[in-house]
Amino acid sequence: MAVTLAFDVYGTLINTHGVVVALEKYVGSKAPAFSSTWREKQLEYSFRRGLMQNYEDFAHCTSNALDYTSSYYDAALTQFDKEKLLDAYRVLPAFDDVREGLVRAQKAGFRMFAFSNGSAATVETLLKHAGIREFFIGVVSVDEMKSFKPNPAVYSHFLRRAGAVGADAWLISSNPFDVIGAISAGMRAAWLKRSPDALFDPWGIEPTLTLSSLVDLDEQIAR
């Protein structure tokens, strides 16, 4: 059976800090820190909603996180400003290594899916804008389960939707919580260490594989 690859989207294929340029117009030199806090709160809100079983989609978490971050940095953002920033979040760029890595993985014969906390429609827009939608058989969203990663049910949902079994399926993610979640649910997982300073959570659950770039993903998995 062909190996199935589930690619996380935000932070793995798509650079969430691509919004920094848009933020500079509103918060100047605070833009990098603002972007980091926004991303951290976005994930925190998804975790909390998943645990509380009080679901709103990822776009809602992103908007709530922007409201928090705006207050935290005392940024005088109008509702119109926030809508412009949320619009920018829907057309973020891919990382530089993504296209080449996907081309090589496709040539190697892997079955590739995008697997995201974002809604299917939002992810479709992101991937098309980044010019990489063509590489994926389909988009699998946690929105279909009304929960978020790392709920084990969403990884099981991915396997059902992709027609795969855990032994033949890999998650590819830059997010340690996602890698640990996938492994805990019976999949294999590659951690994409996008920063040399990135740390993996010391939970006693290690990535099946650690990468610094998507370019050699096909060779590493084939070993």
Residue 218's SS3 state is helix
d(CA 163, CA 142): 16
Return the closest-CA partner of residue 123 out of 151, 99, 104, 142.
142
- Select the CATH number that applies to the domain covering 4-14+92-222 from these four: 1.20.140.160, 3.40.190.10, 3.30.540.10, 3.40.50.1000: 3.40.50.1000
Where do the structural domains in the chain lie, given as residue ranges?
Answer: 4-14+92-222, 16-89
Give pLDDT tens digits along the chain (223 positions): 699 999 999 999 999 999 999 999 999 999 999 999 999 999 999 999 999 999 999 999 999 999 999 999 999 999 999 999 999 999 999 999 999 999 999 999 999 999 999 999 999 999 999 999 999 999 999 999 999 999 999 999 999 999 999 889 999 999 999 999 999 999 999 999 999 999 999 999 999 999 999 999 999 997 6
Catalytic residue, chosen from 8, 57, 143, 178, is 8
Peptide bond into 32 cis (omega under 30): no
pLDDT value, residue 223: 67
Q: Are 154 and 46 in contact (CB under 8 A)?
A: no
Return the closest-CA partner of residue 171 out of 30, 157, 83.
157
**pTM of the predicted model as reported, rounded to 2 decimal places:** 0.96
Q: What is the DSSP letter of 94?
A: B
Return the closest-CA partner of residue 37 out of 84, 13, 6, 69.
69
Question: Is 8 an active-site residue?
Answer: yes
pLDDT digits (tens, 9 = 90+) for 50-80: 999 999 999 999 999 999 999 999 999 999 9
Q: Which class for 93: exposed (0-12), middle (13-18), buried (19 or more C-beta within 10 A)?
A: middle
Q: Into which CATH architecture does domain 16-89 fall?
A: Orthogonal Bundle (1.10)
Buried-exposed string 119-129: b where 16+ CB fall within 10 A, e elsewhere: bbebbbebbee
